[in-house]
Structure 1
Amino acid sequence: MAEIQLRNISKRWGSFVGVANFDLTIADREFLVLLGPSGCGKTTTMRMIAGLEDATEGDIIIDGKRVNNLDPKDRDVAMVFQSYGLYPHIDVYENIRFPLKVRKVDPATHDERVMRAARMVELEDFLHRKPAELSGGQRQRVALARAIVREPNVFLMDEPLSNLDAKLRVSTRAQIKNLSHELQVTTVYVTHDQVEAMTLADRVVVMKKGVVQQVGSPTEIYDRPANTFVASFIGSPAMNLITGRITHGTFAGHNVEIGGLDAPDGEVVLGFRAEDAALSDVPAQINGRLYTIELLGDATMLAVRAGREMVSVKAGKEFRAEIGDRVSFSVPTNICHLFDAGTGERIA
């Protein structure tokens, strides 16, 4: 097992900064998710850990050993890519066994290790098929088994579910979660999908333009986003963010007025989650017209046009109204989030 220390690592190509001053310790057996939009530096960070990219600055330490100058094959990490990377001319059994042959592991142990890995991802009935005969989800499970069979110190997973359809993504995500619990191996997982991050991670690192925005448990990041970028990136739907001004403890924006806030006067961004808003039969803190109504089965998601703002509100499944109807709702003061209007940083 392995602890990973990333000590102020940076990656630059000329004047372009891919990753800036990334400093973090990933605990032994931790499942860490690097989360952010395309181009934020999350895959570059993982590739530096793997040795597929050289760090411009900083130290990468795995299990107490500096590995900056080690080749990928000597770092004892196993990678799972979104493209599967399977060999089309050999069957599933041989694809899973391939890392053992390359690393010259005792052939007497191969069958037992391959069968164990195949059982973990429920592939026992597909071992003699070629990759072309498998579905996308089955191919991704072969890639997982090929990583498992190596018994590495570290798993690195680069958007492994992005090529799967919605249903397969859910089932494969559950499989990865179960494998993580069963194998207890330090894992770094890259994704742009905040649902994957929230469901899989012990801790999440949210990145933007090569810079770490926040590190914390999924609950911490959801409940106390460090800035407006994190607030808008985490959650489905994203947190409502309304620009306005606080005067004597009362926030006022377009068709929005919320009092009782413990904050200094000035321009702020007020945030709240869709599920924290409560519909009212009389004019309340926020008033507007229904823009869209989405039936989700267990709830009804409303988009409300409040002045210039579009606000998401989660109502009960029994809610009934028509697009264009006027609605009012309130938000408890104690769950409102306040951010600096200039910097976007959270106001304590």
Structure 2
Amino acid sequence: MASITLKGVTKRWGAFIGVDSVNLEIADKEFMVFLGPSGCGKTTTMRMIAGLEDPTSGDILIGDRVVNDLEPRDRDIAMVFQNYGLYPNLTVYENIRFPLKVRKIDPKSHDARVRRAAEMVELTHLLDRRPSALSGGQRQRVALARAIVRQPSVFLMDEPLSNLDAKLRVSTRAQLKNLHHELQVTTIYVTHDQIEAMTLADRVVVMKSGVFQQVGTPTEIYDRPANTFVAGFIGSPAMNLIDGEIVDGVFTCPNVRIEGFARDIVGPVTLGFRAEDARVCPVEASQVQAPIYSVELLGDATMVTVKTGASLVAVRAGKEYRAQIGDPVGFSIRAEICHLFDRTSGNRIENHKSAGSGTVSGTIENRNWENRHVR
């Protein structure tokens, strides 16, 4: 098995910067997810690790070896692609076996390795079929088995579930989680789906415009987002973000008044809170009062949304809650469950006593997680 290290890795195409001087250490056997919107650089970063793109500058190490000049076939990696990449003229058995033939592995071992890989992804009964006779989920499992049979040091997976329907995504996610537990192979997984990232990853890299915004466990990035981009990207629904001002420990904006903040934090801020951390309450006892903008029945809960200024604010109510659009509603929000962010930089503000006055004077958090580079 192998660790992976990125040291100042940059990818440019002329004046355009696709990946901007990123540093990262991925531990042996770790499941690392690169998460971000389209065009953020996550697939480019993976392709540089795979050897399909050359970095403009910086070093990529697999284990203790710099692999910048190594061909993809010499990096001991296996890739799973979004479009499966199966050979239509070959059976499932021969598709899975193909990497062994190409790498000239002892033919005597082929059958046992193919059948073991097929068993791991529950394809044993389909080995004689061709890809055209398989469903999308079955084809993706063939692609997984073809990677598994290689027994590589590193798995690279580029949005492997994006072509599956919602139900298949859930079942295949569970299968991937179990496979990683069983195989214990270092894995990098690229996705724009934050649910996949939160459910699969040991750690997540959140990317935007070629820069690592935050690296941490799913719990860390959910509970303590480093900036408003991460706060607004992670979670379903995403964190509520409201622009307002704090004076004398009170946050205010249209329809919102929340008391209890440190008095040394003064000035314009962005306040954030999760839908599940607030509750619907009588208007006279609330910190947010506004007409209902929408009501969504989710089965296990009801999402109640109001509009304050330009912001939509959602709170999760009980599944039995019933109301109509336009009805007055109140939300109860405690200061201690809120997150504060600098309005200019978007960076997280620590809500504690510090010197200064007249502007936002809380401490902008400088969270130097090991193995990360944030700009």
Answer yes or no: same fold by TM over 0.5. yes
Amino acid corresponding to residue 81 of structure 1 in structure 2:
F
Q: Determine if the alignment matches structure 1 residue 298 to structure 2 residue 305.
A: no
2:290 equivalent in structure 1: 288
Does 274-283 or 162-171 show the bigger shift? 274-283
SS across alignment from 2:348: coil
User: Does structure 2 retain, via aligned residues, the 8 Å contact 1:288–1:307?
Assistant: no
Contact 2:277 2:333 in 1 (8 A): yes
Structure 1 residue ranges without an equivalent (≥5): none
Give the TM-score of the pair, scaled to structure 2.
Answer: 0.92
The answer as to 2:341 corresponding to 1:339 is: yes
CA contact (8 A) 2:283 2:289 kept: no
Could you say what the CA RMSD is over the residues aligned between the two structures, in angstroms?
A: 0.7
How far apart in 2 are the matches of 1:40 and 1:132?
33
CA contact (8 A) 1:254 1:309 kept: no
Q: Give the structure 1 partner of residue 279 of structure 2.
A: 278
Q: 1:325 is matched with which residue?
A: 327
Amino acid at match of 1:22: V
State the identity %.
70
Asked whether the equivalents of residues 137 and 168 of structure 1 are also in contact (C-alpha less than 8 Å), the reply is yes
Contact kept in structure 2, 1:205 and 1:213, CA below 8 Å: yes
Shift of 1:289: 1.0
Amino acid at match of 2:90: I
- For residue 222 of structure 2, what is the aligned residue in structure 1? 222
CA distance in structure 2 between the partners assigned to 1:261 and 1:152 by the alignment: 52
Cα-to-partner distance string for 1:111-147 (whole Å, 9 max, x where unaligned): 0000000000000010000000000000000000000
| 1:46-104 alpha-carbon deviations (Å, 9 max, x no partner) | 00000000011111110111100000000000000000000000100000000000000
Q: Within the alignment, does 1:73 sit opposite 2:73 as a pair?
A: yes
Cα distance in 2, alignment partners of residues 30 and 170 from structure 1: 21
TM-score where L is the length of structure 1: 0.99
Whole-angstrom distance in 1 between the partners of 2:65 and 2:171: 36
Name the counterpart of 1:198. 198
Residues 293 and 210 of structure 1, relative CA distance in 2, 3 Å threshold? same
What does residue range 118-129 of structure 1 map to in structure 2 within 5 Å? Answer: 118-129=118-129
Which blocks of at least 5 consecutive residues in structure 2 are unaligned? Answer: 351-375
The aligned residue for residue 5 of structure 1 is: 5
In structure 1, distance between residues paired with 2:7 and 2:50: 15
Native 8 Å contact 2:2 2:28 kept in 1: yes
| 4+ long deviations beyond 4 Å | none
- C-alpha separation in 2, matches of 1:9 and 1:337: 32
Question: For 2:84 and 2:311, how far apart are their aligned partners in 1?
Answer: 43
For residues 307 and 12 of structure 1, the distance between their equivalents in structure 2, rounded to whole angstroms, comes to 40
Which residue of 2 is the match for residue 269 of structure 1? 270
- CA distance in 1: counterparts of 2:107 and 2:309, whole angstroms: 70
- The alpha carbon displacement at 1:281 in A equals 1.5
Which shifted more, 280-289 or 73-82? 280-289
Q: Which whole-Å CA distance do the structure 2 matches of 1:326 and 1:307 have between them?
A: 16
Do structure 1's residue 131 and structure 2's residue 124 form an aligned pair?
no
Aligned to 1:104: 104
Shift, 1:309, TM fit: 2.6
Equivalent residues, number? 348
